[in-house]
Structure 1
Amino acid sequence: MPTPMEPSQPGRPTEPVPVPVPVPVPAPAHAHATSRTTRLRASWNACADLLERRIGHELFALTARVAMATIFFLSGRTKVTGLLTVTEGTYALFREEYRLPLLPPELAAHLAAYAEHLFPLLLLLGLATRLSALALLGMTLVIQFFVYPDAWPTHLSWTALLLYLAGRGGGRLSVDRALGLR
């Protein structure tokens, strides 16, 4: 077989045989977008990992405990005078405005006032965290369905925090954990 410069016939040079040269084919436009998306996703996930390590369950549980304890304790303080003396105004609210079914207003006023003091304190300490969160969740649902049904955005946020605490517990920074309880 003749080489590109060998004559195929004596005395006549042949034309060089073209050698195919690979031509770079530009990547489709979506390939750049895909690699950019992959880089963005990786950056996002790296930030999420960092936040998860820095915030984590411990800080979130402590923050949720303090937030919910504050809300309910302050509400409880509006129902009493002195240490735990239920006010006449509280009785009137339960008789005339709240009108809870199944319980006499005076009993409901006492139960609410005491529960809004006891469970927030337990929650703040992280003692019986799951039980306290469930008790306050029960109060939240009663308030939502029987007292202030239009306040569902507020009650939904309380529910989210209380469900988190009921499901995950009070975290490392709690008396529960010091006692070896989850």
Structure 2
Amino acid sequence: MNIQTHTQAASLLILRLFVAYEFWEAGVEKWRGQNWFADIQQKFPFPFNLLPADLNWQLATYAELLLPIALVIGLASRLSAIALTILTLVAWYAVHAGLGYNIGNGGYKMAVIYLVVLTPIILQGGGAWSLDSLLKQKFKWAKFF
């Protein structure tokens, strides 16, 4: 690998680790906390507003616990980043949209940061320092990763 490949791999790894930590932390909070989704269920965008609040809570919790692990090891990085993007957009819409940009007011600033961090992972994948890269080298069907 040349220096540019190492630089890109390091950059994507840093983004993966940062966003994985942030979502993992949120997942642990949900795991240990009370389900408050029933209070905002009517604010969820379609089709999530059709699902029971308990199911949405479980989907969010497990997504925030499992997808960060996939990002850390670089497995299905693009798919994980897409799923976390959807989760972030739902949270922005249902929780943060009407509260402005400021984090202190419960605003959407962190949602924007997460979306910015997830975008390069969606566009480029996990990078050379990922399990995706190893799978691409070994299996032709893994080109999407």
Q: TM-score, normalised by structure 1?
A: 0.62
Spell out, residue by residue over 1:7-39, the C-alpha distance to the aligned partner (whole angstroms, 9 max, x if none).
xxxxxxxxxxxxxxxxxxxxxxxxxxxxxxxxx
Name the counterpart of 1:96: 39
Distance 1:54 1:126, change over 3 A: closer
**Distance in 2 separating the partners of 1:107 and 1:167:** 30
**Distance in 2 separating the partners of 1:54 and 1:163:** 19
Letter in 2 for 1:175: L
**Distance in 1 separating the partners of 2:133 and 2:6:** 18
Spell out, residue by residue over 1:77-133, the C-alpha distance to the aligned partner (whole angstroms, 9 max, x if none).
01114xxxxx5x1x2x11124653222111111111111111111011100000000
Structure 2 unpaired stretches of 5+: 100-106, 137-141
Name the counterpart of 2:59: 111
Which aligned pairs between 1:148-167 and structure 2 lie closer than 5 A? Answer: 148-149=96-97, 150=99, 151-167=107-123
Name the counterpart of 1:44: none
Name the counterpart of 2:95: 147
Is structure 2 residue 123 aligned with structure 1 residue 175? no
User: Larger relative contact order (C-alpha < 8 A, sep ≥ 6)?
Assistant: 2
Larger-gyration structure (1/2): 1
**Distance in 2 separating the partners of 1:111 and 1:105:** 10
Identity of aligned residues (%): 32
Q: Which structure features the higher share of helix residues?
A: 2
**Distance in 1 separating the partners of 2:94 and 2:88:** 10
* C-alpha contact 1:98 1:147 (8 A) present in aligned 2: no
Q: TM-score, normalised by structure 2?
A: 0.77
Distance 1:54 1:114, change over 3 A: closer
